[in-house]
Structure 1
Amino acid sequence: MCAIILTIMLTAWSILVDAPLEEPANPSATPNPSKAPWYFLGLQEMLVYFDPWMAGVVMPTLIIVGLMAIPFIDVNPKGNGYYTFGERRFAILTFLFGFLVLWVWLVIQGTFLRGPGWNFFMPWEEWDPHKVVALTNVDLPYLLGFRGYWTEAAVGAVCLLAWYATIPAWYIWRRKSLVNVGIVRYAIKSFLFVTMMGLVAKMLLRIFLNVKYVLVTPCLNI
């Protein structure tokens, strides 16, 4: 039934809404905003929060590797061949969060809410090409009151290590309930999950506190 309703909605949408086709590309006239195809807009939106090497290389690689690793790290037999939300609550919610929030929503935001200059526009706002948003981006160690290049680098490294320290801490706390998982599977699964939530944390820091980097070093900025 859901598939039928969705098919009807997509059919009606395709009939009533014209495809946003434009004239052939003109190298002398760059559109503003210049957007990637819709299926890459999630990655383009991530460039607001991360450097290109992180948003365009590291994160997509982790997504692909994580999806490939699911059959090997998920040893829970419950749910094989039948649907059971009650027995697979964490797995299903994690997947839905990663897919709907960290992919679908970023695509929607990049498509409908990003206008000229890649500024954020609400649906009822007109896309003003002259809009200027004054932002003062700071690094997290600087925001916490630390000054000095190497001091800020050390504080950023501590923050990053503290974030990932939740992996062994959780294992030690819940060791008995994780016996069947195995330490290798647990490490891979936890690393992917903590990294995913770290992406959310970094996005929230950028949105609400204008934090540009957590860790700043001569060769690595996160």
Structure 2
Amino acid sequence: MEVMEEKGREVKDDRVFTWPNLVAKEFLAAIFVTVGLLFYSYVVDAPLRELSNPGQAENPAKAPWYFLGLQEALVYFDPWYAGVVLPSIIILGLILIPYLDNNPKGNGYYTFKERKFAVSVFVFGYVFWYVLIYIGTALRGPFWAFFWPWEKWTHDFPTPPPLHDLPLPLGIALMIGFYFLGLVLPALVKKDFFYKLGVVRYVLTMGLLLTMIGTVIKMIFRLAFNVKYIIATPWINI
């Protein structure tokens, strides 16, 4: 901490340099974590299983845990969306965060009161992704059937109800109405939020947010109402 003179009076400067104050602490923390992981890996064996048998397929066949979120998303969406579009949107959204959110509050310190919207949206998306991973890891049994934690995995389970698609006009109307109202209503209710971001950043921010919310709604439609596709065409299914 330094004391500076500003217009004849002393002003305390509570800023410190990143090097060595912060970098040294981060380096020490990385060393301790690395040493801890080495000791942990020495005590606990990796969960390796038997050699694979080409003549016997595993049921259920699961990806590594960090890919199970995508594998679980394949239950609710076509591969082109769950495997390509959804991860691309997530990566694009993370890249755009510094350009969409120019709120200077919270830089250098943690605050929820001054960044409720940004923190809430990020935490929601973060938790939602780990919920998908948990479902794929612990709640999906043989034939990728859903089992509650207290249920035993078995091949003898009730046949799930048949799925159906929404009528095409209804699906298109719901999709257009969802994005239209999602873009217009917040701009009318929170005008300061709209003017602060501007048209381009507002549309990008709300588009990403609505896509995330729409993904959750689509999953609810599948689980609660057995709806397979909101929009079903010979070329694209959503």
TM-score, with structure 2 as normaliser: 0.79
2:149 is aligned to 123
C-alpha distance in structure 1 between counterparts of 2:44 and 2:133, whole Å = 19
Displacement, 1:155? 1.8
| Structure 1: 5+ residue stretches without partners | 142-151
Q: Return 159-168 or 126-135, whichever deviates more.
A: 126-135
Change over 3 Å in CA distance of 1:177–1:116 after alignment to 2: closer
Displacement, 1:13? 8.9
Pick 1 or 2: higher relative contact order, CA cutoff 8 A, min separation 6: 1
Change over 3 Å in CA distance of 1:27–1:80 after alignment to 2: same
C-alpha distance in structure 2 between counterparts of 1:15 and 1:94, whole Å = 39
The yes-or-no answer on 1:34 pairing with 2:50 is: no
Which secondary structure state, in structure 2, belongs to the residue aligned with residue 56 of structure 1?
helix
C-alpha distance in structure 2 between counterparts of 1:29 and 1:15, whole Å = 32
The yes-or-no answer on 1:182 pairing with 2:208 is: no
C-alpha distance in structure 2 between counterparts of 1:25 and 1:67, whole Å = 37
Query: How do 1:135-214 residues align onto structure 2 when only pairs under 5 Å count?
Result: 135-139=161-165, 141=166, 152-165=167-180, 166-214=182-230
Displacement, 1:21? 1.8
Higher strand fraction (1 or 2): 2
C-alpha distance in structure 1 between counterparts of 2:117 and 2:102, whole Å = 14
User: Which runs of 4 or more aligned residues in structure 1 lie more than 3 Å from their structure 2 counterparts after TM superposition?
Assistant: 10-20
Amino acid paired to 1:35: K
1:93 is aligned to 120
C-alpha distance in structure 2 between counterparts of 1:124 and 1:17, whole Å = 27
The yes-or-no answer on 1:78 pairing with 2:109 is: no
C-alpha distance in structure 1 between counterparts of 2:220 and 2:136, whole Å = 16
C-alpha distance in structure 2 between counterparts of 1:200 and 1:185, whole Å = 23
TM-score, with structure 1 as normaliser: 0.84
Q: Deviations over 1:75-105 (max 9, x none)?
A: 111101111111111111111110112x111
* Structure ID, larger Rg: 2
Match of 2:96 among 55, 66, 69: 69
C-alpha distance in structure 2 between counterparts of 1:179 and 1:118, whole Å = 47
Q: Deviations over 1:118-151 (max 9, x none)?
A: 1111222221023243312112x3xxxxxxxxxx
| Structure 2: 5+ residue stretches without partners | 1-28
Displacement, 1:113? 0.9
C-alpha distance in structure 2 between counterparts of 1:94 and 1:172, whole Å = 20
C-alpha RMSD of the superposition: 2.3
C-alpha distance in structure 2 between counterparts of 1:203 and 1:18, whole Å = 37
Change over 3 Å in CA distance of 1:137–1:26 after alignment to 2: same
C-alpha distance in structure 1 between counterparts of 2:131 and 2:39, whole Å = 22
1:146 is aligned to none
C-alpha distance in structure 2 between counterparts of 1:171 and 1:164, whole Å = 13
Displacement, 1:15? 8.5
Which secondary structure state, in structure 1, belongs to the residue aligned with residue 183 of structure 2?
helix
The count of residues paired between Structure 1 and Structure 2 equals 204
Report sequence identity in percent: 48
1:147 is aligned to none
